[in-house]
Amino acid sequence: MPPRTTVGDYLIRRLEELGVKHVFGVPGDYVLGFYDQLVASPLEVVGTCTEIGAGFAGDAYARVNGLGAVCITYCVGGFNALNAVAGAYAEKSPLILISGAPGLGERERSPFLHHKVRDYNTQRMIYERVTVAAVALENAEDAPEQIDFALDACIRQKRPVYIEIPRDMAMVPCAAPKPWKFDRAKSDTQTLKEAVAEAVEMLRKAKRPVILGGVEIHRFGLQNLLVRLVDHTGIPVASTLLGKSMIEEDHPGYIGVYAGAMGRDDVRRTVERADCLVILGAFLTDIDLGIFTAKLDPAKTIHASAERIGIKRHVYEGIQLRDFIDGLVDALPKRNASRAKPKPPKRVEFKTKPRNTMTVRRLFERIDSMLSDDHIVICDVGDSLFGASDLTVRSHTEFLGPSYYASMGFAIPAALGAHVNKRKLRPIVFVGDGAFQMTGQELATIVRHKLNPIVIVLNNKGYSTERFIDDGPYNDILNWQYHRMPELLGAGWGAEARTEAEFDAALAQANENDEGFSIINVHLDPYDSSRAMERLGRSLGKRVKKSKTKS
């Protein structure tokens, strides 16, 4: 007789096999049986304060590990995590959402079980819109195939999946898992040959080619292949904001983040003056395009993504991004790195101006002067993200921020998820005061797991992005004493800073404190911002005003 296991243990063994070591979540009665199975397994359960915190933590874990998992209860837990899963879908993060559900037997006996909304399929049907596979394990014989189908989709498409386990199914016997087999999709040979040939012809004629890399370089593990292409051809490379840290940013070929008029002028000029722009794995979102201030000529563009390759007006499908980049490396002649590229801004040693009040610009200049290979940078939305765009991140996949979906509240739980996976890297976390008030309680989970991020709260007394879009009293929030969170939690260290001298002293103390988290409450003028933030706000503000006029 073939070996047997249970439905719950089958899923757990698959997670182990695929490199997941931690599962984030909040328990509830419909999933307690599966939680018992998790606790009995080699996987570590990381219990969070909220389900959305678990979702953001699992998302960040997936971004640095290649796969992440969250386990929550039915509806009240699932809908709380929905926003984080939607963000993972939008930004291509391979997250597995496991949900408990009412037992199949009790559904027949009672049509009105707690947590139910409308009918028993409601949660699964909603999750179908933000996942690439949504399965309910309602038959033990089919469960192994359903689980493998969902996990394969998650790995192949780098997007979330939903797996629902009714509480009376977790312990039901089923077939034991066979060794995991993942067959990487293959490119159509002739189509690949034609696409590479057309791209190479464009690049051979180009005098000012530029590569613009995006988030799919991260998600599909193509960082080293991209470095090979840059080293081989000498073509300068920029990144989108969502793709930041896809290449070591002290690499001689790297020129910075391109974000239209929101980014550095030297990077913008180089990218927009390119006579052949090779876009690799990038979503061209409104934020990545500088709120439509980008000027990219499709006639001079090669746009290669996981879905298709577009060259001028031609579209090639059935080609893997990895194979296309590999084909370019093989077909293009080797050149030195002397191609024209902008000179990076001259790095000037940071000198503290002790009596000066803190500003957004000076804050990020100071942090840039101290970043090392031992740090991972994690940002929330707003100036926490835009101000950090020019930081020099020295290793790939060590900058995390929700720059497309742009949900507030990402950074603190993301620091938890990333730090649990990469203990040797110390997170530097940038979060606005508004975003902190949404998920800052996950510092409690950080304390429980003995982690030591440095959290920098950009405290401008409200929602600064919205102030630039449409100023009003609704953008103001209560000014918490963020630096006193250690008193509330009974652990950690905190300080506040209004001047450069105070910030410098606090940062030095935070670096020394490796016993737990450090939090620095940086007081900023409510209308101080980075140039990128100001331009974003003004551009979106015009759209808001136009919509008001129409209504």
Please check the confidence at residue 538 and state whether its pLDDT lies above 80.
Answer: no
Region 360-387: what's the mean pLDDT? 94
- What pLDDT is stored for residue 337 in this prediction? 56
CA 273-279-285 angle, to 5 degrees, is 95
Taking phi first (over 0 means left), then psi (-120 to 50 degrees means alpha), and beta for anything else, what does residue 125 get? alpha
Cβ-based neighbours of 392, under 8 Å, separated by 6 or more: 249, 250, 368, 371
Phi-psi region at 537: left, alpha or beta (left = phi > 0; alpha = psi -120 to 50) = alpha
**pLDDT grade for 71, boundaries at 50, 70 and 90:** very high
Sign of torsion over alpha carbons 313, 317, 320, 324 = negative
Q: Is a pLDDT exceeding 80 seen at residue 466? A: no
In the prediction, which pLDDT does 475 show? 87
Q: Please tell me the predicted confidence (pLDDT) of residue 109.
A: 81
pLDDT at 291: 79
Contact 452, 428 (CB under 8 A): no
Contact indicator for 469, 533 with CB cutoff of 8 Å: no
539, pLDDT greater than 90: no
For the stretch 29-46, pLDDT in tens is 999 999 999 999 999 999
Mean pLDDT of 178-191: 92
pLDDT at 219: 96
Arithmetic mean of pLDDT, 362-373: 93
Q: Which residues face 476 on adjacent strands?
A: 462
Q: How confident is the model at residue 232 (pLDDT cuts 50, 70, 90)?
A: very high
Which option is the CATH number for 4-175: 3.40.50.970, 3.20.10.10, 1.20.120.1200, 3.40.50.720?
A: 3.40.50.970
Most confident of 23-32, 99-108, 381-390: 23-32
Residue 178 gets which letter from DSSP? P
- Res. 550: pLDDT tops 70: no
pLDDT at 530: 82
Fold classified for 360-541? Rossmann fold (3.40.50)
What's the pLDDT at 80? Answer: 98
Q: 111: Cβ–Cβ under 8 A, 6 or more apart, which residues? A: none
CB of 173 within 8 A of CB of 140?
A: yes
Structure token digits, residue 46: 């990381």
Whether 293 has a pLDDT exceeding 90, the answer reads: no
User: For residue 348, what pLDDT is reported?
Assistant: 64
> Which sequence spans correspond to the domains of the chain?
4-175, 189-331, 360-541
Residue 65: predicted pLDDT: 97
According to the model, what pLDDT value does residue 343 have? Answer: 61
Q: What is the pLDDT of residue 379?
A: 98
The mean of the pLDDT values for the chain is: 93
| pLDDT of 248 higher than 60 | yes
Segment among 22-36, 101-115, 251-265 with least mean pLDDT: 101-115
Q: How many Cα atoms are found within 13 Å in the side-chain-facing hemisphere of 196?
A: 21
Q: Average pLDDT for residues 482-497, to the nearest whole number?
A: 98
Q: Are 68 and 54 in contact (CB under 8 A)?
A: no
Q: How confident is the model at residue 467 (pLDDT cuts 50, 70, 90)?
A: confident
pLDDT confidence tier of residue 344, bands split at 50, 70 and 90: low
The reply to whether domains 4-175 and 189-331 share a CATH topology is yes
Residue 541 CA to residue 539 CA, distance in Å, equals: 5
Q: What is the arithmetic mean of pLDDT over 73-94?
A: 98
The mean per-residue pLDDT over the stretch 230-236 comes to 96
pTM, to two decimals: 0.94
Looking at residue 303, the DSSP 8-state letter turns out to be E
How big is the chain by its Cα radius of gyration, in Å? 24
In 3D space, the residue among 58, 4, 13 whose CA is nearest the CA of residue 40 turns out to be 13
pLDDT tens digits for 301-340?
Answer: 999 999 999 998 899 999 999 999 999 999 999 886 555 5
Q: pLDDT band for 111, please (50, 70, 90 cuts).
A: confident
Output the pLDDT for position 274: 96
Question: Does pLDDT of 225 surpass 60?
Answer: yes
Phi-psi region of 108 (alpha: psi -120 to 50; beta: other; left: phi over 0): alpha
Split at pLDDT 50, 70, 90, the class of 110 is confident
* pLDDT tens-place string over residues 398-421: 899 999 999 999 999 999 999 999
Counting residues of the chain whose pLDDT is more than 70, the rounded percentage is: 94
Residue 268: pLDDT above 90? yes
pLDDT at 342 over 70: no
The pLDDT assigned to 521 comes to 99
Average pLDDT rounded to a whole number, residues 13-38: 98
**Per-residue pLDDT tens over the stretch 129-152:** 999 999 999 999 999 999 999 999
Q: Looking at the predicted structure, is the pLDDT value of residue 77 above 60?
A: yes
8 Å CB contact between 288 and 259 = yes
Dist CA 284 CA 288 (whole Å): 6
Is 396 a residue whose pLDDT tops 80? no
**Lowest mean per-residue pLDDT among 295-309, 484-498, 523-537:** 523-537
* CATH T-level topology, domain 189-331: Rossmann fold (3.40.50)
pLDDT at 356 over 60: yes
